[in-house]
Amino acid sequence: MKERIKYRTIVLSDIHLGSRFSKVSQVNDFLASVDCDSLIFNGDTIDGWQLQKRDSAFWGAEHSRFFRIIMKMVESCGTKVYFLRGNHDDFLDKIIPMSMGPVNILKDMMIESGGRKYFVTHGDVFDSITSNMKWMARLGDVVYNILLKINVMYNRWQSIRGLPYYSFSQAIKDKVKKAVSNASDFDGMLADMARVKGCQGVICGHIHRPEDRMIDGIHYLNSGDWVETMSALAEDNDGKWSILYYDNIELYSK
């Protein structure tokens, strides 16, 4: 077995614990396979919207394992853990900011990496629909969950026919998110906010689309999600960032 890789920082967002479509088993396998100094959950870690619905909420043994793995990382590696607030876990507004030893609950934060300062935020406040038309955001969430249910049935049929997995729910969501992003200039506003805060980079989530690119001199990073893309951001000891995909990493056990 190869030696485990230890990262300086790992960022995950949009895990949506409580939704039946959260890839909680996969995120647990991922977390149990990595070591890091700082672990940042950048919003929508717990899906409060789904937990309010009796017919769609789900909480099982893997969800308890999720928190046990985090605590083990704290105990064995001295990992500092940060939970940032997203729109689906906006119930955190009632307790922000809070610190419990190495575990911190915050609205947003700043970090330094590779000689740059990064503004870390979920990003929903820069989504015009989420911020100004919450009823439409909740309607979109309902429609997305319906698409996910259809997607499960569709891919069962694909499997029977010997055809590869295809996520039309992700394809539709990508098109919608790109349209919303373009309409509200989501990426650009985040880059501008980072600049206003004296930062040279921004780390966000929210739109479920992992990215690593430059926007007018600002390093833009998006950690993706754990509903379909199953991706995370990782920083090495030299301050270099990369996007990790669950399907492309070697899994170990703690």
Q: Which two tokens stand for residue 183?
A: 């309409």
Q: How confident is the model at residue 135 (pLDDT cuts 50, 70, 90)?
A: very low
* Per-residue pLDDT at 92: 92
Q: How confident is the model at residue 163 (pLDDT cuts 50, 70, 90)?
A: low
* pLDDT at residue 173 is higher than 50: yes
CB of 19 within 8 A of CB of 27?
Answer: no
Read off the pLDDT of residues 184-229 as tens digits, 9 standing for 90 and up. 578 888 999 999 999 999 999 998 889 999 999 999 999 999 998 9
- Peptide bond connecting 164 to the previous residue in cis, omega within 30 degrees of 0: no
User: What is the fold of 6-248?
Assistant: Purple Acid Phosphatase; chain A, domain 2 (3.60.21)
Could you tell me which residue, 245 or 51, shows the higher pLDDT? 245
* CA 174 from centroid of its chain's CA atoms: 15
Task: Give the integer Cα–Cα distance in Å for 203 and 63.
Answer: 25
Which sequence spans correspond to the domains of the chain?
6-248
pTM for the full model?
0.79
